Amino acid sequence: MSLNLQTNTQHFTNPLYLESGRILEPYDITYETYGELNEDKSNVVVVCHALTGSHHAAGYYEGENKPGWWDGLIGSGKAIDTDKYFVICSNVIGSCFGSTGPMSPMLPHHEPYRYKFPVVSIKDMVKAQRILFDRLNIHRVHAIIGGSMGGMQALQFAIHYPHFANKIISLAATHATQPWAIAFNKVAQEAILKDPEFQQGYYDPDILKEQGLSGMAVGRMAGHISFLSHESMREKFGREYKLTDGLYELFGKFQVESYLEYNGYNFTKWFDPLAYLYITKAINIYDLSRGFDSLSEALKKITAQLHLISFKNDLLFRNFEMKEIADELTKIGNTNFNYFDVESDYGHDAFLVELDKFEDYIKEILK
């Protein structure tokens, strides 16, 4: 069967009331769907993306040789089987791939919002998606799944829209962003803000697409360190040195240095720096217990079957952060959940890379 990849954008004119008390109007949400919606609409699986992800979760665009970010998991016969399920992945508000974000035109003018864009939270991103699904006439879904910031969205859905999904699967996430992760985001934010080419937010996006932004590249390098682990770096690069460089050349490089450089600089040509600042802010202020007396009060709202998946050597969101959610659920007498800690040395990015370690588990959950 074909993937039946379709990309659409919906335009909303009703105001979106944000957690901060501010309003976003009008706004657009770009989303992608795969597979076919069945007659009673009972086969919908919602996929939520991470910080630098987008609605393009699977399949190939014409003329591109790189597939969507979770292509190994979504498709015909795969864990999220598009022969069975109708899969929707939408780009979050605040991002830079079609949904309204800081570089979108601020109506009635055609100038971009830039810093006039309101701070959005993960809860706001989820609320906007919920409004999108209403528009699409989808009022209940089979499952919601996401990793990292996508896992945060899945958990927010579980608490704030308790009757929307039958199953919630959250991978490599946490119940509240901890100082370690906030610290890595701080390095990236500072590196962007202090780069003169950033022009205090008034840069020309076309120039950055061509030249990149070195400050953002440096910040992204720090990010990459937090996505891997001591073990995975050792296995991936060891102490390999670039063959063309001399050991005693001051700027001769180890493979790990080349990797960080390549990924850092490349990234800045396709991801917008203001969107990066806004989304890392949303991640930093994420806390499931906000608006409740405690985490357990928040978790009492959950009625869906909940699946928590952590990765043993995740340095960004430690596996015990997921276990804390599991322990709280046990304490309040919730028996409708599972906690699975994946044996992995890869680090945080295992949820994108080591699919073979959990794809069967996901398949089983979705059944």
Catalytic residues: 148, 314, 348
Tokens of 289: 């217990």
Q: Are 132 and 28 a contacting pair, CB within 8 Å?
A: no
Neighbour tally for 100: CB within 10 Å: 27
Residue (of 351, 335, 5, 297) closest to 169 by Cα position: 351
Tokens of 169: 């699967």
Tokens of 19: 């957690």
Close Cβ partners of 296 (under 8 Å, ≥ 6 residues apart): 328, 331, 332
Give the 3-state secondary structure of the chain: CCCCCEEEEEEECCCEECCCCCEECCEEEEEEEECCCCCCCCCEEEEECCCCCCCCCCCCCCCCCCCCCCCCCEECCCCEECCCCEEEEECCCCCCCCCCCCCCECCCCCCECHHHCCCCCHHHHHHHHHHHHHHCCCCCEEEEEEECHHHHHHHHHHHHCCCCEEEEEEECCCCECCHHHHHHHHHHHHHHHCCHHHHHHCCCHHHHHHHCCHHHHHHHHHHHHHHCCHHHHHHHCCCCECCCCCCCCCCCCEHHHHHHHHHHHHHCCCCCHHHHHHHHHHHHCCECCCCCCCHHHHHCCCCCEEEEEEECCCCCCCHHHHHHHHHHHHHCCCCCEEEEEECCCCCCCHHHHCHHHCHHHHHHHHC
Neighbour tally for 85: CB within 10 Å: 22
